[in-house]
Amino acid sequence: MEKPSLPKGTRDFGPVVMAKRQFILDSIKKVFQKYGFQPLETPTMENLTTLTGKYGEEGDQLLFKILNSGDFLKDVDLQKLNSRDSRLITHSISEKGLRYDLTVPFARYVVMNRHEIALPFKRYQIQPVWRADRPQKGRYREFYQCDADVVGTDSLICEAEIILMIKEVFKSLKISDYTVKVNHRGVLSGLAEIVGAKEKETALFIAIDKLDKIGEEKVKEELRSKGFDDKSLDVVFEILNKEGSTATKIELLTNSFSTSEKGKKGIADLSAVFQSVKDYGVSEDHVEFDISLARGLSYYTGCIFEVKINNVAIGSVSGGGRYDNLTQAFGAKERLSGVGISFGVDRLFDAMEELKLFPEETQVSSMVLITHFDSESQRYGLKVLQTLRNNNIAAEIYPDPIKIQKQLDYANKKMIPYVIVIGSEEMKSGLLAFKNMKTGEQTKIGIEDILNTLK
């Protein structure tokens, strides 16, 4: 028999990893709820008509598709079948795909439930997504996203709250060295506009997005090949490379963008967002206006965000921004603007491991293991166990009659911090041997004292 294995790019999460992941997920969820976001869950499977065409051509190829049930070949066009062209046949044998992100299902939900939803609608969603990407370090085929979005308002207070939420999440995760990069698509449009390359805006976004990865020279090369001349590139990179405070950058851009409406709008929005953060009484620490932040995905139209943990070799752990008309793709006529943030749990997990930020090796485990010498003491132990559980203490009894040492080994392996040993003496006196597994300390005390110690 073949040894069982996991599909490429997928993982089991055992008890130790689960406890850590749960800590991250709970921290994020608490912040989302504190900011008035409400939970939503959508199905793992979506119709391919919902998913296809929403993530660009590359995205379409990375969708996991579900084979139709039953005799899936029945209605396939014979000619197509004989062509052996997979692309021609896919849609005849597959109608459903796996969730690729949380944003498109959210937009579908909003359109389908438009009349029951109170606008502005603030929802959070914490679920896995699937991408048929080539697996590599830090990139999986199944991974969790934690998204919070508001739709139905243009208010820039929402952008400010995204910055606040990011800061609060990182505080509760005890990650102290990180940067929230903020920019605005209008600023990038303005850049294109002032060098007379309004129609090459997208090429500019795409090239700038690679700055981190390939460096200034290669980005310039790419832009030259797209028709940007050296003079334009000088103007663009003088601005992109501007160092200094947010105020300095805003001043520079205000002057530069005197002829660009989009640029002006970008600067005005960003100024309002930074002002709002101040109005909340929250410091601007960790927040950086990064003119070179582009965010590849093309549906953003306003402010954009990205969070990097410093001194850790892991890409961005969170990102988001404002988008217009997300629901348009589903035929909604009403214009619904939205803004959202997404946290990547798997990267946060890897970063926190690297920074050793998780509390000492911990598991979701019992507080107490009850051990025993024979069936009589085990039977006595059941009542003790019940008393512990009645007091809401997670506890268990070793189920089999084996040597005490083996029972203690089990407690150690499961990181159970306390053990009660029950023998004939304990049954007589009612004073139970109570052992702290960390210190090795052992006392003989009654159940009431044990309860008090544990509470």
Q: Using CB under 8 A, which residues numbered 240 to 259 contact a second copy?
A: none
With the CA atoms of 265, 266, 268 and 274 taken in that order, what torsion angle do they form, in degrees rounded to the nearest 10?
160
Q: Write out the DSSP string of 285-346.
A: TTEEE-TT---S-TTEEEEEEEEEETTSS---SEEEEEES-GGGGGT--S---EEEEEEEHH
Identify the residue among 26, 49, 171, 335 touching a second copy (CB under 8 A). Answer: 49
Residue 95 · residue 48 · CB < 8 Å: yes
Backbone angles phi, psi at 431, to 5 degrees: -90, 120
Closer CB to a second copy, residue 153 or residue 325? 153
Contact with a second copy (CB under 8 A) among 171, 335, 379, 403: 379
CA distance 182 to 229: 28
The region of 16-24, 218-226, 302-310, 347-355 touching a second copy under the rule CB under 8 A is 16-24
Query: Which one among 60, 154, 201, 288 touches a second copy, defined by CB under 8 A?
Result: 154
Residue 440 C-beta: closest distance to a second copy, Å: 20
Q: In Å, what is the CA distance from 369 to each residue of 331, 417, 424?
A: 59, 8, 18
Minimum CB separation of residue 340 from a second copy in Å reads 14
One residue of 395, 419, 421, 422 binding a second copy per CB under 8 A: 395
Residue among 117 and 203 whose Cβ is closer to a second copy: 117
In this structure, the chain runs to a length of 455
Segment 120 to 139, residues that bind a second copy, using CB under 8 A? 120, 122-123, 128, 130, 132
Check if the beta carbon of residue 91 is closer than 8 Å to that of residue 48: yes
| Closest CB 398 distance from a second copy, rounded Å | 8
Applying CB under 8 A, the span of 79-87, 262-270, 422-430, 447-455 interacting with a second copy comes to 79-87
**Degrees (nearest 5) of the Cα angle 402, 403, 406?**
90
Burial 137-172 (b: 16+ CB within 10 A, else e): eeebbbbbbbbbbbbbbeebebbbbbbbbbbbbbee
| Closer CB to a second copy, 233 or 411, in the complex | 411
Site for a second copy in 185-214 (CB under 8 A): none
Pick the piece of the chain touching a second copy (CB under 8 A) from 194-202, 229-237, 241-249, 279-287. 279-287
Cβ(341)–Cβ(319) below 8 Å: yes
Q: What burial letters (b/e) apply to 231-268, b meaning 16+ CB within 10 Å?
A: ebbebbbebbebeeebeebbebbeebbeebebbbbbbb
State both tokens at 176. Answer: 């102290």
Least separation in angstroms between residue 34's CB and a second copy is 5
Site for a second copy in 59-78 (CB under 8 A): 61-62, 64-67, 69-74, 76, 78
Judged by CB under 8 A, the number of residues near a second copy is 111
If the CB atoms of residues 157 and 314 are measured against a second copy, the closer one turns out to be 157
Element (H, E) at 129: strand 121-130
Asked if 5 is part of the footprint of a second copy (rule: CB under 8 A), the reply reads: yes
Residue 7 sits in the site that holds a second copy (CB under 8 A): yes
C-alpha distances out from residue 41 to 10, 45, 102, 124, Å: 21, 12, 9, 9
Cβ atoms of 303 and 183 within 8 Å: the answer is yes
Applying CB under 8 A, the span of 109-117, 286-294, 298-306, 428-436 interacting with a second copy comes to 109-117
- Only one residue has tokens 């820039």, namely 156
* Nearest distance from C-beta of residue 45 to a second copy, angstroms: 5
Radius of gyration over alpha carbons of the chain, in Å?
28
Residue 227 backbone phi and psi in degrees, to 5: 105, 5
Per-residue string for binding with a second copy, 354-373, x by CB under 8 A?
A: ---------xxxx--x----
Part in contact with a second copy (CB under 8 A); list of ranges 299-307, 313-321, 341-349, 377-385: 377-385
> From the CB of 3, what's the least distance to a second copy, in Å?
7
Is the distance from CB of 256 to CB of 263 less than 8 angstroms?
Answer: yes
User: Is the Cβ of residue 134 or residue 218 nearer to a second copy in the bound state?
Assistant: 134
One of 57, 118, 137, 255 touching a second copy (CB under 8 A): 118
67 vs 313, beta carbon nearer a second copy: 67
Q: Could you tell me the smallest distance in angstroms from the CB atom of residue 373 to a second copy? A: 15
Rounded to the nearest whole angstrom, what is the least distance from the CB of residue 72 to a second copy in the complex? Answer: 5
Per CB under 8 A, which of residues 411..450 are in contact with a second copy? 413-414
Q: According to CB under 8 A, which one of 24, 28, 40, 102 is a site residue for a second copy?
A: 40
